[in-house]
Amino acid sequence: MYFIGVDLGTSSVKILVMDDKGQILSTVTKDYPLYFPKALWSEQNPQDWLEQSLVGIKEALLGLETSKVKAISFSGQMHGLVMLDSHDNVIRPAILWNDQRSIIETNYLNEEIGIDKLTSYTGNIAFPGFTAPKLLWVKENEPENFAKINKVMLPKDYLAYKMTGNFATDYADASGSLYLDVESKTWSQDMLEILGIEDAVLPKLYESYASIGTLSEEVSLYLGFDHEVTVTIGSGDQACAAVGGGVVSPGRCSVSLGTSGVVFVHSDTFIKDPNNGLHAFCHANGAYHLMGCMLSAAGSLKWWVEEILKSNDYDHLMDYAEEAKLDNGLYFLPYLMGERSPHNDPHARGVFWGLNLSHSQGDMTRAVIEGVAFGLRDSFEIVQSLGQEITEIRINGGGSKNDFWCQMIADVLSTKVVKLETDAGPAYGAAILAAVGSGQFESVKQACDTLIKTTDSYMPSETQAIAYDKKYKSFAKLYPALKALFPEV
């Protein structure tokens, strides 16, 4: 049997076909445009997502027996706002997760409605990236569009709706909307009242591994299926990436070293960070998770190497960084796009601190990747303070390809780090959810235990861990000292 995972990313959609042994048979990536009509705005046309997804699925199945396709599921960029009118037409371009136009609405929610009320309603505070502030922005700035709303959905749910006709979402992806009561897994009526919408415009809620029906006859015909194909609703990209890494049981944590950086920890029960540094969301396996997201992880290294050094020779630059001394007195704050977890500060900026004439290019490269590791530790520290004991970190993303950086993460977090045999990201997790939703496995955990294997591991060095701990304590003092200065610049 074959299972298809569709990962709807910000710049492209990735299609992955997996067999029932967990082997990847085919992958295809299809790009689509990203629009920036004004400063801080980020939009896409949902029709582009649908068209490229269907073309990609068809291409991914070339040379394979379509009769063996049993199920399909979705992963998607989180928090995006998609609105349809009563004729199921898209009202306006989708407003994406990285759109920052709703700062005023975010401040209104956090300051006037109040953080205490928000966290009691949803378990989380407002961020400009979340869906609820975007809805308030449309209500205030485009009332004619707000009046047309018949359906409100998240990006991947648009694909599911257009492919099945079923209006659905999952608890995990919906957690990032800021109008789901995460602990009780219901839409928050208090938040809907604040937003001025009825729950009739919101999709039906499911577990991420639940079947919502089958592909429509029209879609099946286009893709070449002459049998029913089960559709599992799937989840947001971070929850799917965690499933794809087997982070579905206590003690496991995933660290993503992608453009952004993510610390993702499974929890059997709902846990809320009292200081709101981490997100408290539902997980794609039916449980919950804590998540910290930094906005510029491998993105910081990409900026340093490609924009500043005008190079693409990452290997040599990382070698120079490894040769640099740990105790070189140089620090980097990786806040090139502001910061999300744990500071929630859009004004924060990147900083090199402690430069002197003895510092080399290698020292500065090392400072950049150390700054990212320390930024991840900020979230990891909160996880541990909430009583979560982490015994193993599963690392993924482009940065995980470098052994030096992986070892640094193990030393900075003082925890064993392992790589995955199949690091295909959210698309692989979506394919696993498809397999569970179609009945191939009894649970997400059973599927992950059966299909996912690890390869290289990195044990923390006691000596290095002590040295990094000392340096981290100095790093942690820099943001509070500079915080008041950031808005001025």
Per residue in 195-205, pLDDT (tens digit) is 999 999 999 99
Task: Say which CATH number the domain at 477 has.
Answer: 3.30.420.40
Structural domain for 184, as ranges = 2-239
Among 263, 253, 243, 227, CA closest to 22: 243
Give the active site residue among 237, 273, 378, 411: 237
Identify whether 391 is part of a domain: yes
Binding site: which residues? 78-79
pLDDT given for residue 423 in this prediction: 80
pLDDT of 411-448, one tens digit each?
Answer: 999 999 999 988 888 999 999 999 999 999 999 999 99
Which has more pLDDT, 295 or 304?
304
Domain assignment present for residue 272? The answer is yes
Name the burial class of residue 407, with classes exposed (0-12), middle (13-18) and buried (19+) by CB atoms within 10 angstroms of its CB.
Answer: middle
Tell me, yes or no, whether 234 and 252 share the same domain. no
pLDDT digits (tens, 9 = 90+) for 114-132: 999 999 999 999 988 899 9
For the chain, helix, strand, coil in percent to 5 are 40, 25, 35
For residue 462, pLDDT beyond 90: yes
Q: Flag whether the pTM goes above 0.95.
A: no
User: In three state form, how does the secondary structure of 262-298 look?
Assistant: EEEEEECCCCCCCCCCCEEEECCCCCEEEEEEECCCH
Flag whether 435 is in a domain: no
CA atoms lying within 13 Å on the CB side of residue 198: 5
For residues 252 and 206, state if they share a domain.
no
pLDDT for the residue numbered 163: 98
The percentage of residues in the chain with a pLDDT greater than 90, rounded to a whole number, is 92
Q: Mind listing the pLDDT tens digit for each residue in 443-461?
A: 999 999 999 999 999 999 9
Question: According to the model, what pLDDT value does residue 258 have?
Answer: 85
Average pLDDT, the chain: 96
**Does 160 lie in the same domain as 79?**
yes
Confidence of residue 98 (pLDDT cuts 50, 70, 90): confident
Domain boundary among the residues 221, 239, 257 is at 239
Q: What are phi and psi of 399, to 5 degrees?
A: -65, -20
Q: Does residue 355 register a pLDDT over 90?
A: yes
Structural domains counted in the chain: 2
Tell whether 155 is covered by a domain. yes
159 confidence band (pLDDT: 50, 70, 90) = very high
Are 290 and 401 members of one domain?
A: yes
What are 371-403's pLDDT values in tens digits? 999 999 999 999 999 999 999 999 988 899 999
* 263 lies in the same domain as 365: yes
Rounded Cα distance, 311 and 291, in Å: 33
Cα of 437 vs its chain's centroid, Å: 22
Identify whether 437 is part of a domain.
Answer: no
Residue pLDDT, tens place only, 214-246: 999 999 999 999 999 999 999 999 999 999 999
Going by the annotation, the residues of the binding site for substrate are: 78-79
Q: Confirm whether 427 is domain-assigned.
A: no
Q: For residue 118, which of 182, 172, 169 has the smallest C-alpha distance?
A: 182
Q: How confident is the model at residue 308 (pLDDT cuts 50, 70, 90)?
A: very high
pLDDT of 489 higher than 90: no
**pLDDT higher for 257 or 458?**
458
Residues 101 and 174 in one domain: yes
Task: Tell me, yes or no, whether 369 and 222 share the same domain.
Answer: no
Asked whether residue 266 falls in the same domain as residue 195, the answer is: no
Quick one: 253 and 381 in the same domain? yes
Q: Does a structural domain hold residue 451?
A: no
Q: Which two tokens stand for residue 417?
A: 């780090």
Q: Is residue 40 predicted with pLDDT exceeding 90?
A: no
Indicate whether 344 and 234 sit together in one domain: no
Active site residue 199: no
Domain boundary among 239, 263, 287: 239
Do residues 197 and 180 both lie within one domain?
yes
Instruction: Tell me whether residue 429 is in a domain.
Output: no
Same domain, 163 and 197: yes
Final residue of a structural domain among 204, 239, 274: 239
